[in-house]
Amino acid sequence: MIRLFTAVAIPPEIGQGLLSRQHGIEGARWRPLEAFHITLKFIGDVQEPVAAELDEALAEIAAPAFDLELTRAGHFGEGADIHAVWAGVEDSAPLRRLAKANESAARSVGLKPESRLYTPHVTLAYLKRASVQEVGAWIQTNNLLRSPAFPVDRFGLYSSWQTSEGSAYRLEREYPLG
């Protein structure tokens, strides 16, 4: 079994600006620069033959390159259940089409459809029992976040596994756009 997802990597120069915002929430597990990405499709655990079929389906995606911007900050969960803080992504029709194409590729090899609404974001930290006041203050401080536009000319298939510091990711294959 291999745990997979597809994503757009955040360029290091954009990621540096996100690293500077990683403070102010006690106990937060801040993500390292190399982990910054915008998930297109979470796949989960699959057998290697299914992963190979998925790779072939993803390679068939034809989509143009486009630009993205990061904007605002937010969190997932409410009250005592807040479990992550993130940087948002400016609404982008090309990104939504790319995510939909990734969803279709996954379905074409028999994987389950995603039931959650697609919310593009870059996870900056995972939280456990974080102070609601600290999270609120962090969001207020970072809600005007805005990155320069950056080009998206590829997306990747990543594997994921747990380490003592949290999830680690490895790029398994890249797919060019344009």
Nearest 5°: phi and psi at 139? -65, -45
Tracing tokens 């090309």 back to the chain, one arrives at 94
Of residues 165 and 36, which shows the higher confidence score?
36
What average pLDDT does range 20-48 have in this prediction? 96
Rounded to the nearest 5 degrees, what angle is found at the Cα of 30, between the Cα atoms of 32 and 172? Answer: 40
Q: What is the 3-state secondary structure (H, E, C) of 93-160?
A: HHHHHHHHHHHHHHHHCCCCCCCCCCCCEEEEEECCCCCHHHHHHHHHHHCCCECCCEEECEEEEEEE
- What average pLDDT does this structure show over 110-133? 93
Q: Which residues are catalytic?
A: 37, 121
Alpha-helical (H) ranges within 7-82 are 12-19, 48-59
pLDDT at 48 over 80: yes
Residue 9 scores a pLDDT above 80: yes
Question: Which residues contact residue 76 at a Cβ distance below 8 angstroms, ignoring those fewer than 6 apart?
Answer: 82, 83, 84, 86
What are the structural domains, with CATH classification, of the chain? Answer: 2-176 (3.90.1140.10)
Q: In this model, does residue 8 exceed pLDDT 90?
A: yes
Residue type, 23: H
Q: Band of the pLDDT at 80, cuts 50, 70, 90?
A: confident
Query: What mean pLDDT, rounded, does the chain reach?
Result: 96
